Structure 1
Amino acid sequence: MQTVITKNFDYGEKEIHYLKNADAVLGAAISQMGRVERVIIPDLFAALVHAIVGQLISAKAVETIWARMQEKLGAMTPQNIAIQAAEHIQSCGITMKKAVCILNIAQTIEQGLLDLQELYELSDPQVIQKLSSLQGIGPWTAEMMLINCMERPDVVSWGDIAIRRGMMKLYNLDTLTRKQFEEYRRAYSPYGSVASIYLWSISFR
């Protein structure tokens, strides 16, 4: 079994200090919680597969499936995944739709029709646009790539239920409108990704 290399999202005092000053409620939560680590996958292809697996399922289920995939499929590289049968990928515990999506992306990369490295040269909206043009990938998956792989500093995803739930818990809200969400997101900018890391943690507390 070849384990995918991970690391923690890189942030420090500068981001924490800014967020504490920008939003007193979030600041109080940060002080109380201390440092929260977010494990990320620096490899673009492995992170994209992980993000596809994570669509519409719980974090715990993702963990189980991800471990099984690495065990059954081996190296999480386009070369290796491109030669698997969709049924074999599906047998790790994902839907056939996700399995086909993962296989198609691996084959597209292998055929030289997609270069994930080019994402590093693009802005956040461009990355979202580029990835969303691939079948089976929408804005949420692209935003997860921006945070959980590329470590972009300012991403707060409206499409992420846990982030919205974290906001509602933090600010004691029964509902959250898009307008309210955008106001908070603007307050966190340019360090929205670190705010997201705390909001995820708050939502699961």
Structure 2
Amino acid sequence: MRTIPTKLFDYGQEEIDYLKSVDETLGAAMSRLGKVERVIIPDLFTALVYAIVGQLISVKAVHTIWGRLQERFEDISPHHLAMQSADEIQSCGMTMKKAVCIQQIAHAIDGGAFDLETLHQLPDSEVIRKLTTLNGIGKWTAEMLLINAMERPDVVSWGDIAIRRGMMKLYGLQTLTREQFDQYRIAYSPHGSVASIYLWALSFE
């Protein structure tokens, strides 16, 4: 099975010190947890397929399906997946809707109708706008690509249940309104992605 290249989200003391200075509660949690590493997939197409697989399912289920995908197809590239049928992709354990979505996106990229690499030159809002023109890609999936492939520094996703759960645990909240969420998100800026990495860790404790 071909190994998919990964790396760790790149951040250091500067981001940690900043977040500790703007939010004492988060800072205390960061000190307790130590440096939390986030594995990312730099290849945009591979990361996009991974994000689609991860829509609305548990982390454990994602790992299972992702393992099957790699075993079955080895090469997770637009050209290779464009040649597969949706049935073959679906047989790895995902819904048919996701399989069709992956196959269509692979076709669009392989045929030149969509250029993923140009996203690197665009601001976050434009990356989200472009990605959400693709079938099956909503804002959450686009935001996951921004963090988990592009290493954009300031992404805190309202659509991510685990991030919201981490925030509620951190601040001892029974509910979380969009207004409260936005207040925290703005406070974390410009290092929201590192805050997200810690919120994920807190949500799974």
Shorter-chain TM-score range: over 0.9
**In structure 2, what is the Cα distance between the partners aligned to 1:146 and 1:112?**
22
Match of 1:17 in 2: 17
Match of 2:138 in 1: 138
Q: CA deviation at 1:90?
A: 0.2
1:182 aligns with 2:169: no
Q: Secondary structure at the match of 1:18?
A: helix
**In structure 2, what is the Cα distance between the partners aligned to 1:31 and 1:181?**
22
Q: CA deviation at 1:177?
A: 0.4
Match of 2:158 in 1: 158
Q: CA deviation at 1:110?
A: 1.2
Match of 1:173 in 2: 173
Cα pair 1:74 1:80 within 8 Å, conserved: no
Match of 2:45 in 1: 45
Match of 1:196 in 2: 196
Q: CA deviation at 1:5?
A: 0.9
The residue type equivalent to 1:23 in the other structure is: D
**In structure 1, what is the Cα distance between the partners aligned to 2:167 and 2:109?**
37
Cα pair 1:69 1:92 within 8 Å, conserved: yes
**In structure 2, what is the Cα distance between the partners aligned to 1:154 and 1:182?**
13
Q: CA deviation at 1:51?
A: 0.3
**In structure 2, what is the Cα distance between the partners aligned to 1:60 and 1:127?**
28
Match of 1:71 in 2: 71
**In structure 2, what is the Cα distance between the partners aligned to 1:189 and 1:110?**
36
Task: Provide the TM-score with structure 2 as the length reference.
Answer: 0.99
**In structure 1, what is the Cα distance between the partners aligned to 2:128 and 2:110?**
21
Q: CA deviation at 1:160?
A: 0.3
Q: CA deviation at 1:122?
A: 0.6
The residue type equivalent to 2:98 in the other structure is: K
**In structure 2, what is the Cα distance between the partners aligned to 1:126 and 1:9?**
22
**In structure 2, what is the Cα distance between the partners aligned to 1:67 and 1:112?**
28
Match of 2:105 in 1: 105
The residue type equivalent to 1:175 in the other structure is: T
Match of 1:61 in 2: 61
Q: Provide the identity percentage.
A: 67
Q: CA RMSD in A?
A: 0.5
Cα pair 1:3 1:75 within 8 Å, conserved: no
Cα pair 1:79 1:110 within 8 Å, conserved: yes
Match of 2:80 in 1: 80
Task: Provide the TM-score with structure 1 as the length reference.
Answer: 0.99
| Number of equivalences | 205
Gaps of 5+ in 1: none
Q: CA deviation at 1:80?
A: 0.6
The residue type equivalent to 2:53 in the other structure is: V
**In structure 1, what is the Cα distance between the partners aligned to 2:144 and 2:185?**
16
In the TM superposition, what whole-angstrom CA distance separates every residue of 1:45-69 from its partner, at most 9, and x where no partner exists? 0000000000000111101111110
**In structure 1, what is the Cα distance between the partners aligned to 2:111 and 2:150?**
24
The residue type equivalent to 1:123 in the other structure is: P
**In structure 2, what is the Cα distance between the partners aligned to 1:107 and 1:72?**
19
In the TM superposition, what whole-angstrom CA distance separates every residue of 1:133-191 from its partner, at most 9, and x where no partner exists? 11100000000000000000000000000000000000000000000000000110000
Q: Secondary structure at the match of 2:173?
A: coil
